[in-house]
Structures are given as structure tokens and as C-alpha cells.
Chains A and B, each alone.
Chain A
Amino acid sequence: MFAPSRKPAATANQLRASSRISNLEGNRTLDENARRNRRNRQLDGLEQDNSHDDPHANLVWNKNAPKFDDEMIGGPSAKKAKKVKEDKSGIVHGEKARRRKLARPEFNKQRFKKSFNAHVIEQSKAILDSAEPDYRRVNAYQLSSAPPSEKPARKFCAVCGIISKYCCTRCGAKYCSLPCRDVHNDTRCMKWLA
């Protein structure tokens, strides 16, 4: 997928140019900005609940009557349970209307979902703008974040987890020995998946 497209036959000048470019690409390194972005993506991955797709995302519960409005968490068995409960009580109390209002398609939820930090900042602004602001609730989340450690960070081999002394000159990952360096170069160094 990432292989460069095959080029037509080239003149001598073009051969020299493409040879120089391919040599340069082999020596490309990540700068500090790119390394920080990569670290942030890895840290965001620690907050994920799942690393694979929803296995029920493409299900159709009933082919004859596809439902686009209801969120089908619970499925038919939950519907039966609800019916039994309703028969027992005899009065619905507007549960159906409220449930339909609260249930929304997951697609919209994921698409327009704000990040958690945006939620927190918006809430702090709302409290400040309210009639009687409770100042204890403004920026409490940000202010409670732990300060950086006074001890220096330790370095561990990305391949085997042992204490490491060496650092990849291209992407900045740590390794502890020549075999680990070779594994790193083969599997993760400058690979898009890493």
C-alpha cells in the first residue's frame, strides 16, 4: 500500500535525482514535534475502551422493518421484559416517550461527540456565566492535575522492557541491545502503524 508507484524509464539526470531522494528518505528523522504527537496519540490510546470495531454495528434486527431511530441496545429480549413490566404495573408513566427521547443513534453520538476536555471547559464557562457562580467548581479539573515528577524519567527498552541506555536516532524509541535494535528497526521504526 505504501510502496512508491513504479516510474517509467528515466534519463540519466532523473536516475541521479531519484537515487538521491531515495537515499535521503532512508535518513529521515522525526523531529521533537512529531515525536510528541506520537506520544500523545499513544497516551490517548490508554483511555480507549476498545481497540476494535463494534461487532453489532452493521446488524439489521428485522429485515422486514428496519429501524433507524431506536438504539437497539437491549434487543428483543429487553423489549419483552419491558412489556411484561408494563403489563404488571398497568400504567406507563410516559416511559416510552422519555426513553425514545434519551435513546439516540450511536452514529450521531460518535460523529458529533466533543472531546472530554471541551466538555469540561464548557462547563467551567457555564458556571462562571451563571447568576450565582460557585467558584469552587471553576477549573477544578485542570487545577487538580498532578504536577510533573521531581525525579527524572527512567528509560525502558520498547522491545523487551528492560532498562535501556540507547535511543533510536530516527524515531527516538529506546532499546537496550543490538538484537532489540534490530527487532525495532524491522517492526516499528518509522512504520506508520506504530
Chain B
Amino acid sequence: MRSLKVVIWFEVSRTLKKPVFWIMSLLGPVGIAVVFALSAMSGVMAGTAETGQSDAEITFQYIDHSGLVQPAIAESLGGSPIDDPNVGVANVQLGDIDALFEYPTHPTTEPIKTAGVDSGIFDSMKYGAIAKLVLQLSVQGALGDPELVQISLGQVNVESITYRGSVVSAGIWGVIPSLIFPVLFFLILVLLGNKMLATGMEEKENRVTEMILTAIKPTTLLAGKVVSTFIVGMVQIAAIVVPSIIVAVVFPSVLGLEGFHFSDLVWVPERIIIGVLMLLAGFALFAGASAAVGAAMPTAQDANGAFSVVILTAVMPAWAFTAIISTPGSFISQFMSYFPMSAPVTVMLRNALGIIEWWQAAISIGIVAVFAAIAFTIAARIFQYGSISYAKTVSLRAVFARN
């Protein structure tokens, strides 16, 4: 136990002490913040431009085949009716008016045609905006009642309640907290994939295996490295998530979260427990498999091919995502829920969406945990007997024949 603590402390502290770790960790949130800031600024600019376009004062003539345009409204916006479109186009070409609008008989199925003086790609968009505004205001004026107008625009709220038996379901607010786990799992694979691979490789590449194996058991060393990788991963994820939460709380509009309150989230204990257990079991499985690959290969370059296969099996459920969530009882969904490498993501997704029974999740977690233990044992064995094969790939047959 003492050696385990020593390894964990050494591995965690040496990673956290490196500036490059923090630079890489904070690069994500900084990048996201920049993108959000840019998109927010673009949104403001686009909104301003759109408002400006529809508010622009122009002179126009119009031909109304629909009979929906109210002349008073058109006039208030600078318009006057004509009968001949050719005359209107000629007026535009002469510069007597800014634009001609021709409203079709059926505006919902046919386009409104505009012809205007070219004032640049973006500024010329004002003709379309004003043509639509004239029609919208005319129709709203015909309805008379502002409430009818709002309803016609779909500006109504819906409050839904669903039941599981006699219990009210958590709904979308219950899904979000459990979705954290598959997201965390993916983040760990993306951020820590190389570190997990290095678990069984670093000692071999540095020719330090023999010295270290006379000071510590291979299982203890690997366990310490896996645990420290998880701790480092959590620190790295916290470095990404904490600033995001602060932004969400302080500047919700930046993330498009107006009206969202953390108190709205519903933390379903059963789903949280399943999520935590599957996250840990899944991490242990992939860490063990990655360590085994790393210990078996002479260099990181040689290990990349096999490691890609390991990672690919983790993202398999993403290809069958629709089938998994729409028909949880289907063969593909069941297979992915119980196949060790695909089970973590599949079960965490189904768990978040509330479409898996607890006992199904328990079986799946058990399978993943057992295979994690097997992967870990194989990794330790390869590490012990294979990591002194410095220049060649280790075969499992050779490793397990050493008895």
C-alpha cells in the first residue's frame, strides 16, 4: 500500500508540475471561450445588421398578386403600388426608386421577387427583409388580435409531465446530470489516451524496467499509474469544466443558457450510481487494455496501430446511436450493452436517457469490471516478462509460456 501511494504521488506530482500540462489543459477552455466570444459578437453584429436592414428607409414600388399587402402599411415603409413590373425594373435601373417588390399569388409556396439597386452583397439583403416585413405587418394587421398573431408565430410555451408508473419522470432535467458520465468518458479517452498507452511503455522505453521491478511489484506499479492517470484526468477535466460553469453562472447568455438554473437539474440517485460505477469500470478496462498494448510494443510508434483499435471499440456505440436510443431492446443495442469494450458508452447513454433497467446495467458493469481485471492482469504479466524485450514486440504466447 505504501509503494502504491509512492507511485501515485510521483506520477501525479510530476505531471501537475509540468507547465505543458496546464497549457494543454487550459488551451481547451480558452479556445472555447474565444469561439463563444466571437460567435456572440457575430450574433450581435448579425442581429444589428438584420434590424438595420429591416429598419432601412428606402423607396420602393410593389405589385401585389396575393391581395394580402395593406397599402397603408406599404406606404408607411416607403412603398407605392404599380401594375407593370417592367416599369418598376426600369425605375430601379434609372435610380428613381431603390427597389421593386412583386408579391406572388401564394406567398407560402412561391417566392417574393425583389429587384433593387446594387448596394453591396450584405446591404442589398435589406430588400428581402423589407419585402417580408411589409407582408408580415400586413397579415398581422388583418388578424387584429396581438395574441392571435403570437400564436400564429408559434410563440407559445408547453409544460410536460411524464410518469413512470405513478412516479413523475425527471424529464430532460434528469437526463443532463447523467449525460456527464459518457461525456467524461470520452474526454478521458481523448485527453488521456496517450498517457494510458504510456502506462506500460515508459519504463520500457527508458530501460528502467529491471531496476523498478526489483523495487516494486508490477501489479502495484501499474495500479499506481492507472489511478494517477485517472486523478490527472479529473484535474484536467476540472480545468476545462470549472471555468465553463463559472461562465454559465455569471454570463449565461454567452453560452445561450438564458433561463437555465442549476437548481432545475434533477439528480436521479440510481442513474448517478450507475454512471459513476460504469465510468470507473470502463476507465479501468481501457486503461488496462492500453497498458497491455504499451507494454507489448517496443515503441509508441509501434503501439499506435493496436491502440487505435482499442479506442475504436470504445466509440463503436456512436455509430449505432440512433438504434440504441430508439430501440433499446434491439439486438445491436443489447450486443453493445454487454460487449465489454462497447458497454461503457452504450450503458452510460442508455442510463442517461432512462432506457435501461438497473439490473441490466449491473450485469453490464460486472462484465466490464471482470474484463478490466483480466486486461489488468495481462498488462501486468506483459509488463513483467515483456518489458525487458526492449527491441521487439512481445507475443502473448511467449509471455504466458514462461511457467
Does B bind A?
A: no
Which B residues form the contact surface with A (CB < 8 A)?
A: none
